[in-house]
Structure formats: structure tokens, C-alpha cells
């Protein structure tokens, strides 16, 4: 299949196989590959590039490059087969969004308190839309409030849930708060979050972006990340919190441990649970192989 057809092929994948593929990618034990490059980040003024490489159990490899500036970004993926030949190269924005949304849907039930959830979604763009669909399939949503600082996105937020004009009002009393923004500075303050809430930060997954107030991370009873090793290089909100002494990397649990049932995200009803998503590359690789039938 030509690389230009892959985004459409991934978009046509049915939800159930997508969730299964993303779950397999997230729960796959991480092994130290000596020939696997470390995450790269290049910042030059307002321009930046981030590069991550992943490899699966069959030897397929994906290189995911994210590049952009102050206002926008785009992703590309190069798929390399076990023999080292390039199998495909394609624009991966939609694939990464679908992978991230599925990861949110998989993480939320493991971190939430039992019962119907009052959900707040900050970010009504393409990622937020994909996440809203996944959440409705994954958890019992009692109420979904949506806020986006962009007037055009906020005007269309009614298609996702109840539009709310201020972020603070959107998250008030929310059991689950999902962040799906490109914010350069935190969009969620710790004093807005009630006891027992779950916060999933899914949007700021590249250099120069921060969604989480450091106090949320410092006060959390449990912090999980899909890729702690990648986070050390690319997740500025986690990096800053560690650098300032409010968090230790040893306190960041791999999300795969939670999804495999090896770690409990929530012990008590009033625990503050935070999940940080930073690396869609393994899931993009899984979805690409699924679309190719490889």
C-alpha cells in the first residue's frame, strides 16, 4: 500500500481492533534496544523538532517526527520492516490522534472512581473530538463539559458536550479532566481540581508545551505515563516538576503496568490520579501494521 493511502486506511479501521492494537502496544514490556536512538529534541527559537523511534516484537520499526512552531505542528511517520527497508512514509497526524484518543479511553476506567463520571474536556479540536468518542465508549459519562479558548473550536463544542465559557467552570466538580490542548503554559490549576479527580494530559506531547500545573503533579497520589523514558526528554511539564524537586522519576509509573493490572492507579476514593501521555509512536506503529495487514 502506498504511503499516501495509509492515513485513510487507518481512519477506516474499526474501533474494537484499534483499541486492541493500542492496548497491546501500551502493555508490551519495554526492552532496552541497544541500537534504538534516544528521543531527540531540537529547539531553535519558536521552532522545534522531536524525534522518537519505536520497535515492536516482530522487528518492525517506526520513526515519528513532530515538527512545528508557536502555533502549529505536524507529524510524519516512517515505517521500516524487519529487513531494514522502508515500507511506508506518511503524514501521521490523524494516526497519532487516533492512537492517543484510544489510550485515553483505555486509561480512564483504570483511574476513575466507580460510578458515572462527570467529565471535563479542555480542548475541542480534532484530538478532543476523538477523545470524546472514546470516553463515551469506555466509561459511563454522566455529563461532559467542554472548553476551548479558540472561539471557532468553542463554537463547535456543543457537538461534543455542554460548552462552558471558562476552563475553571468546565472542570468544577469533575471526576475526570482530560486535557487535549497545544498549550505552552498550564491550562489547569491545582486549586480547580476536586479531591478524588483523575486528570489525563493528552495534548502537550512535544517540546515547548505544558498543560499541567506543577502543583497537580506534586499533590498527586499516583502519576502514570505511557513512556517515562520518552518523557524525560520530551515532556516539559514532567521535566520541570522533577527539576524543581516536586517529583521524582521513580514516582512515575509506566501506564502499561496499570493496564496489565500490575499497579493500582487508585487506592482511595480521594486520591488525585494523573496520567500523562507523551509518546504515540508504539500505537501508531501498531495501527499502521493493522492497516497494512502486515
Domains of the chain, with CATH numbers? 3-95+282-292 (3.30.1780.10), 97-279 (3.40.50.720)
Q: Which residues of the chain have pLDDT under 50?
A: 1-3
Q: Grid coordinates standing for 263? A: 499497579
Rounded to the nearest angstrom, the gap between the alpha carbon of residue 4 and the centroid of all alpha carbons in its chain is: 25
SS3 string of the chain?
A: CCHHHHHHHHHCCCHHHHHHHHHHHHHCCCCCCCCCCCCEEEEECCEEEEEEEEECCCCCEEEEEEEECCCCEEEEEEEECCCCCEEEEEECHHHHHHHHHHHHHHHHHHHCCCCCEEEEEECCCHHHHHHHHHHHHHCCEEEEEEECCCHHHHHCHHHCCEECCCHHHHHCCCCEEEECCCCCCCCECHHHCCCCCEEEECCCCCCCCCCECHHHHHHCCEEEECCHHHHHHHCHHHHHHHHCCCCCHHHEEEHHHHHCCCCCCCCCCCCCEEEECCCCHHHHHHHHHHHHCC
252: region left, alpha or beta (phi > 0 left; psi from -120 to 50 alpha): beta
pLDDT at residue number 2: 44
Smallest CA-to-CA distance from 220 within 240, 203, 207, 238 is with: 238
- Report the candidate in 176, 186, 208 with the shortest Cα–Cα distance to residue 274: 176
**For residue 204, what are the CA distances in angstroms to 58, 120, 122, 180, 266?**
30, 17, 12, 7, 24
- C-alpha cell belonging to residue 205: 506531547
Cβ-contact 122, 180 below 8 angstroms? yes
Burial 238-251 (b: 16+ CB within 10 A, else e): bbbbbeeeebeeee
Q: What number of residues does the chain have? A: 294
Instruction: Say what the pLDDT of residue 1 is.
Output: 46
Do the Cβ atoms of 113 and 175 come closer than 8 Å? yes
* pLDDT for the residue numbered 31: 60
Identify the pLDDT of residue 70. 64
pLDDT score for 273: 98
Q: What is the pLDDT of residue 71?
A: 67
Amino acid at each position: 500500500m502506498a504511503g499516501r493511502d495509509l492515513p485513510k486506511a487507518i481512519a477506516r479501521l474499526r474501533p474494537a481492533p484499534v483499541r486492541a492494537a493500542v492496548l497491546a502496544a501500551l502493555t508490551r514490556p519495554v526492552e532496552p534496544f541497544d541500537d534504538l536512538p534516544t528521543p531527540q529534541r531540537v529547539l531553535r527559537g519558536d521552532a522545534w523538532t522531536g524525534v522518537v523511534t519505536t520497535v515492536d516484537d516482530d522487528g518492525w520499526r517506526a520513526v515519528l517526527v513532530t515538527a512545528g512552531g508557536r502555533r502549529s505542528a505536524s507529524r510524519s511517520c516512517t515505517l521500516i520492516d524487519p529487513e531494514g527497508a522502508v515500507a511506508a512514509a506518511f503524514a501521521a497526524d490523524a494516526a497519532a490522534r487516533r492512537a492517543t484518543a484510544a489510550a485515553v479511553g483505555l486509561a480512564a476506567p483504570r483511574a476513575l472512581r466507580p460510578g458515572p463520571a462527570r467529565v471535563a474536556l479542555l480542548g475541542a479540536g480534532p484530538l478532543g473530538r476523538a477523545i470524546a468518542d472514546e470516553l463515551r465508549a469506555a466509561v459511563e459519562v454522566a455529563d461532559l463539559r467542554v472548553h476551548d479558548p479558540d472561539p471557532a473550536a468553542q463554537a463547535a463544542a456543543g457537538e461534543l458536550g455542554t460548552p462552558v465559557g471558562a476552563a475553571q467552570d468546565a472542570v468544577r466538580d469533575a471526576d475526570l479532566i482530560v486535557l487535549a490542548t497545544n498549550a505552552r503554559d498550564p491550562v489547569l490549576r491545582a486549586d480547580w481540581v476536586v479531591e478524588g479527580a483523575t486528570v489525563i494530559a493528552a495534548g502537550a506531547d512535544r517540546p515547548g508545551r505544558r498543560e499541567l500545573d506543577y502543583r497537580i503533579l506534586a499533590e498527586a497520589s499516583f502519576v502514570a505515563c505511557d513512556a517515562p523514558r520518552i518523557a524525560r526528554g520530551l515532556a516539559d511539564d514532567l521535566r520541570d516538576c522533577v527539576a524543581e524537586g516536586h517529583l521524582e522519576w521513580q514516582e512515575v509509573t509506566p501506564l502499561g503496568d496499570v493496564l496489565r493490572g500490575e499497579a493500582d492507579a487508585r487506592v482511595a476514593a480521594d486520591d488525585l490520579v494523573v496520567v500523562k501521555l507523551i509518546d504515540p509512536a508504539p500505537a501508531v506503529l501498531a495501527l499502521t501494521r493493522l492497516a497494512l495487514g502486515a
